[in-house]
Amino acid sequence: MACIAGRSITHAGAWPVAFCPVLLLAFAFLLFTAPPAAADDWDMDWEDPAPAPGYKSGAGSTGGPVGAEPSASTADGSESRPDAATGEDDWDWDWEETDTGPAYKSDTTRRVDPAAASMPKVPRVGETAEPDFSVSPKSGHQLFADVPGFGVIPSIKDKGMHPCSNCHTWAKSNLTPRRLRVPHDNFLLQHGLHGKGEFWCFTCHHLDGAGGLRTLEGERLSFDDAYILCAQCHPGETRDWSFGAHGKRVDNWQGNRRILNCTACHYQHRPNIKPRKAVPPPPVRRGLERNDRKPHVAAPLWEKIGARYREPGQP
Amino acid sequence: MSRKPSDSHIDHYRRRFLKGLGGAVAAAATPGTARAAWGGNTLADTFADLFQDHYQRMTPEEIADTLARIERKAKRRYGTNITCKNTPPQDGVVYGYALNISKCRGYRECVSACMLENNLSRDMRYIQVLEMDNGSLNFEKADRYYDHRTVPAKGKYYLPIQCMHCDDAPCVKACPVEATWTEPDGIVVVDYDWCIGCRYCMIACPYEARHFNWGKPDLTAGEINPDTHFLGNRPRPTGVVEKCHFCIQRTRENRQPACQEACPTGARIFGNILDPNSEIRYVLENKAVFRLKEDLGTEPKFWYFHDN
């Protein structure tokens, strides 16, 4: 209380009373005679309110919902709302959904763990290309000469994810567009026309074994120039991306502009971004309890009254 | 709107004299070297806290002493070594923010990253992601506690809300002790040591962007981000108001704010609105942007836009 009282008095202009040396010495005397408080009681100004029974201080960084009804939680801990259980989402994708997104790291520099880097990376179809921050970015293509300069961060070359060249260095490619069967059955091409797969491999790739990119006019491109390939059909997005309204700039907000390539966020063979689970919702303020999901608060009055006259089991 | 440090009627000579007197008392009364005498704090630091001036009135030497004291207090309180900075604003820079609501999918990665970066109490969030029905902008029916199996949910869109850093901020006008003000680079900051905890600013803010420390911030030593700024994410005392400060400890060192860095969809765009080549200027000049509650005339520097 001493600090705050002192400051408010200073604004009132009552200096002679507040900081009279006699009072000050008396105050210092009181400081010494007072017993020392706990070591962690750093801010002695305010009293901590007693935590309410519903509040768990050990909620951790995830900060799960406080006072969630036990019936709303399933066995595996994932809370499901009634509308989420019954409502059918419009994302009819059949592969597995990742529960966690890219974890936030508050490190100043991006470091590569050497142990993790030496481990063989297990590729998974559908992963986006991982940006390689250790390599200097590749400056933008000359087609983008009129936009503010930028560098595109290269991707880590992951041959295992699309092992086409394992066979197609010697095997002849069947050029006919068709539904892919064994041994291509684990590959899913859902790019173009709302995921119906109107594209074919050789719309964007070479015929030869290197499997590089080619534009519709036949110009060969490196994988780090994939945005030029995307620009053929998505000029608006690419323009926004080059100016910074689409995509993501990393590390700084002025100076050398380093942006992620299209394939860092969009898996090129199915560019829609998969839905996934969100970070858990925030808890309510300390000492309070969420009541927006309690039925006696959330339901309208007529439903609450009607529930008294309803037969059990009736909706 | 005045952005200069405000003059005061406070008698600096008297204050310095009394501060020296307090130090003399502390030196005379403390046996030997400084040790924990009261509240886990040394008496000299306690007196220095008592006589700490407003941030805008402190001399560079006083600021240096204050920063060192903050680091000492954090060491005593949490056992971690933090670095408290006083990075000044850059010339010719006014920060602005743009958020693409077509891209925001409600993952809440920004919320979590903000909490970790800014040493927030674990029951506090600077960013509220509102889930609303498509085609509506009704804040009364917005759900900030949505918890679906996967997001985005069908028929919903997501609107993150945080401090808009208004150019004519009503919270600044409401503060009775001038503990909050607009920095020259447009960031509305709080001097946590000058705040008296009256919470008038929370009432004045139309965006619910200010938050009050009802208890001691719920942090453990391992969760502390040691990179702190005096006006930003340094450990806060109980009973003061805090808010988003555009990650002042990062952005004044030419780094992106934590919410932008954490956003997995690239919906967030941060930059200098005075720089014609910046991304935010491209968005403001070429996209259909809007601001929340623009009719209040607070001139927020936080825009929302959408694709197409």
Instruction: Let me know if residue A303 belongs to a domain.
Output: no
Q: Check whether residue A21 and residue A135 sit in a common domain.
A: no
State residue A46's pLDDT score: 37
Q: Check whether residue A154 and residue A265 sit in a common domain.
A: yes
ipTM over 0.90? The verdict is no
Domains identified in chain A, total number: 2
- Residue in chain A closest to B102 (alpha carbons) equals A246
State residue A197's pLDDT score: 55
Residue to mutate among A24, A43, A260, A294, with most B CBs inside 10 A, is A43
CA distance A226 to A164: 18
Could you list the residue range(s) of the whole structural domain that residue A185 is in? 126-275
Locate the DSSP E strands across chain B.
83-85, 95-100, 128-133, 156-161, 180-182, 188-190, 210-212, 227-229, 241-243, 268-272, 289-290, 302-305
Instruction: Let me know if residue A257 belongs to a domain.
Output: yes
**List of domains in chain B:** 12-83 (no CATH), 84-308 (3.30.70.20)
User: Nearest CA to CA, how far is A131 from chain B (Å)?
Assistant: 13
Q: Check whether residue A134 and residue A252 sit in a common domain.
A: yes
Nearest to A89 among B154, B256, B279 (CB): B154
State residue A297's pLDDT score: 66
Q: How confident is the model at residue B273 (pLDDT cuts 50, 70, 90)?
A: very high
Closest CA to A159 of A209, A116, A208: A209
Q: Check whether residue A145 and residue A268 sit in a common domain.
A: yes
* Listed range (A122-131, A143-152, B50-59, B274-283) with the worst mean pLDDT: A122-131
Confidence check: pLDDT of A270 > 70: yes
Taking an 8 Å cut-off on Cβ atoms, the answer to whether A275 and B286 are in contact is no
Position A238, amino acid:
T
Mean pLDDT of chain A: 66
Q: Provide mean pLDDT across the span A27-42.
A: 47
Instruction: Let me know if residue A184 belongs to a domain.
Output: yes
Q: Which residues of A touch B14 (CB under 8 A)?
A: 15, 19
Q: Provide mean pLDDT across the span B146-153.
A: 92
Q: Which positions 229-288 of A are in contact with B (Cβ < 8 Å)? A: 240, 243-255, 260, 265, 273, 275-287
Instruction: Let me know if residue A49 belongs to a domain.
Output: no
Q: Check whether residue A25 and residue A163 sit in a common domain.
A: no
Closest CA to B100 of B270, B250, B275: B270
Nearest to B256 among A2, A240, A253 (CB): A253
Q: How confident is the model at residue A94 (pLDDT cuts 50, 70, 90)?
A: very low
Q: Which residues of A touch B303 (CB under 8 A)?
A: none
Instruction: Let me know if residue A262 belongs to a domain.
Output: yes
Instruction: Let me know if residue A254 belongs to a domain.
Output: yes
**Contact by Cβ (8 Å): A142, A249:** no
Is A42 an 8 Å CB contact of chain B? yes
- Residue in chain A closest to B125 (alpha carbons) equals A282
Instruction: Let me know if residue A109 belongs to a domain.
Output: no
Q: Check whether residue A29 and residue A131 sit in a common domain.
A: no
Q: Which residues of B touch A104 (CB under 8 A)?
A: 109, 112-113, 116, 258, 261-262
**Radius of gyration (Cα) for chain A, nearest Å?**
31
State residue A159's pLDDT score: 56
Confidence check: pLDDT of B207 > 80: yes
- Residue in chain B closest to A102 (alpha carbons) equals B264
Q: How confident is the model at residue A41 (pLDDT cuts 50, 70, 90)?
A: very low
User: Nearest CA to CA, how far is A279 from chain B (Å)?
Assistant: 5
State residue A162's pLDDT score: 75
Instruction: Let me know if residue A63 belongs to a domain.
Output: no
* Listed range (A185-189, A303-307, B87-91) with the worst mean pLDDT: A185-189
Is A43 an 8 Å CB contact of chain B? yes
